[in-house]
């Protein structure tokens, strides 16, 4: 029994959810088999609906990571309130990846070098706009909704950045 428990502990945590889902599916198929086929057909239908979107997302992510480097765009933040700075803050926020806490040291360093707080706020706000998720959102919510929502989020992020700059000017 101890060997079995040790073997279970060796399973990577990333596989735990899949294993639990398969076990639950197995139990449900034994307890109430009439539910199994409709649920599998439903899952297959969703998979067929979004598989092309996922492939498109993968290609989009690869192209974004290959052609657009956040390090190149950060230089446009600058010390002024230039249009290029706002565009750079929006674009770098949208294409940024990884956990947010990994960005804090870089953002703190940029702030120490004179980058306005508004650019940093705009960057952080735009982390909510994720290119890889946009095609999936279009499938579920429609093109008009996604375009409008994205436009509002980007517009409000710049407005928030401008407000942040005003607040920080008053503070100092």
Per-residue pLDDT of the chain (172 residues; tens, 9 = 90+): 667 777 777 777 778 888 888 888 888 888 888 888 888 889 899 888 888 877 877 787 777 667 765 556 566 676 556 788 888 888 888 888 777 887 888 788 778 877 888 999 999 999 998 888 888 888 889 999 999 999 999 999 999 999 998 998 886 6
Q: Please report the pLDDT score of residue 75 as a whole number.
A: 67
Determine the pLDDT at residue 96: 80
Q: Which two tokens stand for residue 62?
A: 């690869």
DSSP string, 84-133: HHHHHHHHHHHH--S-GGGTHHHHHHHHHTT--HHHHHHHHHHTT--GGG
Tokens standing for 134? 């946009």
Residue 74 φ/ψ, nearest 5 degrees: -60, -30
Q: Provide the pLDDT for residue 68.
A: 61
Q: Are the C-beta atoms of residues 25 and 35 closer than 8 Å to each other?
A: no
Cα–Cα distance measured from residue 55 to residue 117, given in angstroms and rounded to the nearest whole number: 37
pLDDT value at position 101?
A: 80
Q: How far is CA 34 from CA 43, 46, 172, in A?
A: 15, 20, 68
Contact 88, 137 (CB under 8 A): no
Eight-class DSSP state of 133: G
How many other CB atoms sit within 10 Å of the CB of residue 103? Answer: 20
């Amino acid at each position: 029994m101890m060997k079995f428990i040790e073997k279970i502990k060796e399973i990577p945590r990333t596989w735990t959810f899949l294993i639990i889902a398969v076990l639950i599916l197995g139990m449900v198929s034994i307890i109430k088999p009439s539910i199994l086929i409709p649920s599998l057909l439903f899952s297959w239908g969703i998979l067929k609906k979004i598989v092309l979107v996922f492939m498109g997302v993968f290609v989009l992510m690869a192209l974004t990571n290959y052609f657009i480097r956040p390090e190149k765009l950060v230089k446009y933040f600058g010390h002024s309130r230039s249009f290029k700075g706002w565009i750079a803050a929006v674009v770098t926020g949208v294409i940024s990846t990884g956990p947010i806490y990994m960005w804090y040291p870089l953002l703190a360093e940029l702030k120490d070098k004179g980058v306005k707080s508004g650019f940093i706020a705009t960057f952080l706000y735009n982390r909510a706009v994720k290119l890889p998720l946009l095609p999936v959102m279009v499938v579920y919510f429609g093109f008009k909704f996604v375009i409008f929502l994205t436009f509002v989020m980007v517009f409000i992020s710049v407005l928030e950045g401008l407000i942040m700059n005003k607040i920080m000017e008053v503070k100092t």
